[in-house]
């Protein structure tokens, strides 16, 4: 099923808001199917398909986290190089005796380079610490969905 172009499973996953005790709650998924589509194996088939979907998505999420980690680790050498250069420039412009600059200009340049250097570290920090958070939350929801109780009932008339 789809709702505004979004699969029902994705929509269901977005409705869950993980909290401290959310995994202790019991949820039930009720599928409404036309009576002629329901047989003795419908619940087992639905459970197997949902479990397979969740396991595949969790595996994909683990791969995404590995890719994010590699991306962040590749950014660190560049960020550290920029940081070292900027701190060096900040120290250089902070030495007023070597430059014929007004103290306020030298101080502004020095502090500006320090800030640029530290901001350069934001990319890897954001990548390594914050990007995986949503992927991990999604995996927790998928684990819950994989264990959800499924019930199949006949669909009433439209």
Q: Is residue 11 part of a domain?
A: no
For the chain, what is the domain count?
Answer: 1
Q: Report pTM.
A: 0.74
pLDDT, one tens digit per residue, over 54-81 is 999 999 999 999 999 999 999 999 999 9
Q: Is residue 3 part of a domain?
A: no
Structure-block tokens of residue 136: 């991990």
Q: Is residue 9 part of a domain?
A: no
pLDDT (tens, 9 = 90+) of the chain, 158 residues, equals 555 667 777 777 777 766 655 556 677 888 888 888 888 898 899 899 989 999 999 999 999 999 999 999 999 999 999 999 999 999 888 876 656 767 778 888 889 999 999 999 999 999 999 999 989 988 988 888 888 888 888 888 65
Torsion of the alpha carbons at 100, 103, 109 and 113, rounded to the nearest 10? 110
Q: Is residue 4 part of a domain?
A: no
Q: Is residue 6 part of a domain?
A: no
Q: Is residue 10 part of a domain?
A: no
Q: Which domain holds residue 65?
A: 18-154
20-27 CB contacts, 8 Å cutoff, 24+ apart: 22/144, 23/140, 23/143, 23/144, 26/149, 27/144, 27/148, 27/149
């Amino acid at each position: 099923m789809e709702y505004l172009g979004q699969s029902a499973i994705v929509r269901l996953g977005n409705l869950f808001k993980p909290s401290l005790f959310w995994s202790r709650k019991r949820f039930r998924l009720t599928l409404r199917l036309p009576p002629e589509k329901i047989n003795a194996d419908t619940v087992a088939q639905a459970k197997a398909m949902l479990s397979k979907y969740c396991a595949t998505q969790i595996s994909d999420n683990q791969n995404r986290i590995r890719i994010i980690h590699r991306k962040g680790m590749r950014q660190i050498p560049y960020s550290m190089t920029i940081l070292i250069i900027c701190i060096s420039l900040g120290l250089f412009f902070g030495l007023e005796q070597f430059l014929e600059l007004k103290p306020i200009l030298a101080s502004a340049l020095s502090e500006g380079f320090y800030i640029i250097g530290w901001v350069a570290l934001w990319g890897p920090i954001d990548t390594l610490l914050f990007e995986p958070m949503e992927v991990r939350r999604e995996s927790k929801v998928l684990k819950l969905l994989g264990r959800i109780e499924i019930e199949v009932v006949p669909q009433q008339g439209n």
